[in-house]
Structure 1
Amino acid sequence: MAQEYEIEKKNLLTKKEFETLREYLKLEEKDFSSQSNTYFDTGEFSLKQAGAALRVREKGSSAELTLKQKNKNVPGLLETNQNLTDKEKEDILNHTVFPQGEVTEQLMASLQISSEDLQALGTLYTKRASINWHEGEVFLDHSQYLDTEDFEVEIESASEEAVNKLMNKLLTPFSIPVRQAPNKIARFFNRKYAQ
């Protein structure tokens, strides 16, 4: 089963702060790639209530189905990933028919949710660049969804202590304040409900 724990920290940025960090990290336009995330949940938002999220990510010519879940015993999120064929991706996006595999097994085993109860909620488009930086990886994201755009920096590393240290090391020299950064699906839904 393709699963891993992800220790990450995010910080929302203004457009100017985003450009400042992009220049500091020497990231050029060619370093950014486009991806889209189409999110799914039940009509009763069972995944959201369980602290989980399900998405199809399209990046270049590849597509991946990912289930993210909170885990009480480990910081971070448990990710279950499943690569999709073109036909599987089209079946999900056009007909909400999910393939058998690690993700649907995990939905049933840990959340008691059938893939037949899922529906598409919308798509968020992101331009993302990443770079290895000290003992972690830094991601700069520019996202567009509904009538909104936002900017964020995300850092992944081996521990909570490491991501906090790296985030402080990156933001402090530019006097960028620490801002709460709900995950992308939460920001998408907050904007959807505000409309």
Structure 2
Amino acid sequence: MSQEIEIEFKNLLTQEEYQRLYQLLPFKSVELIEQTNYYFETNDLLLKQHGAALRIRKKNDQWTLTLKQPHPEGLLETHDTLTTEEANLWIQNQMVEKPNTKPQLHELGIEVNQLRYLGSLTTRRKELDYKGATIVLDHSLYYDQEDYELEVEAPSKPVGQDVIKEILDACDIPQRKTDNKIKRFYKAKLQSE
């Protein structure tokens, strides 16, 4: 599918809270997935000004270019599959236009040749299906930072809100305003410069 609406809820965790959730739910029984996000932006931060983000994700030897844009229900994600060669070109600032993301970028007034590679973030992820949602425990590494996060991906806002509240309450974890990974990545990048 080239487009989808992503409805997700996030909560940053301490390492101890991460371990508590890992023990409470059957995360031991699921495979550890390692994925790397490669982020892109224009020199004048046009994507950020539109509340959008662009990344390439390598997961299970598959490369996917994804543009995330604000949507009333969550985030509109537009995807294109990349070959390894195309992904490497992007990372070397030799962008290749793709059929799904190109028109979306054009709507934002962004040409592919304006984009620049910013850096990467690697996540070690465990996923479970839980009460009609997908719950995710992430341990992410970027620049000299690492963080822990609970994500709930849900078919609707009410389902997602109920599931994350139930899990946080069960582990006595406070709800925290949590920026998405790209915002945390930007913050770390600025601190490192």
Place the TM-score, normalised by the shorter chain, in its bin.
Answer: over 0.9
Partner of 1:12: 12
What TM-score do the two structures reach when normalised by structure 1? 0.94
For 1:97, the aligned partner's letter is M
- Helix, strand or coil: the match of 2:27? coil
Where structure 1 has 5 or more consecutive residues not aligned to the other structure, the ranges are: none
Partner of 1:55: 55
Partner of 2:85: 87
Pairwise CA distance, 1:96: 3.0
2: CA distance, partners of 1:14 / 1:35: 21
Does the alignment pair 1:122 with 2:119? yes
1: CA distance, partners of 2:118 / 2:89: 16
- Helix, strand or coil: the match of 1:171? helix
For 1:100, the aligned partner's letter is K
Partner of 1:22: 22
Does the alignment pair 1:141 with 2:124? no
Pairwise CA distance, 1:105: 1.9
Matches within 5 A, 1:24-173: 24-28=24-28, 31-71=31-71, 74-108=72-106, 110-173=107-170
2: CA distance, partners of 1:146 / 1:177: 27
- Helix, strand or coil: the match of 1:28? helix
Tell me if the contact between 1:128 and 1:142 (Cα under 8 Å) persists in the aligned partners.
Answer: yes
For 2:3, the aligned partner's letter is Q
Partner of 1:189: 186
Pairwise CA distance, 1:30: 6.2
What TM-score do the two structures reach when normalised by structure 2? 0.95
Tell me if the contact between 2:30 and 2:128 (Cα under 8 Å) persists in the aligned partners.
Answer: no
- Helix, strand or coil: the match of 2:47? helix
Following TM superposition, where does structure 1 have runs of at least 4 consecutive aligned residues deviating by more than 6 angstroms?
none
Count of aligned pairs: 192
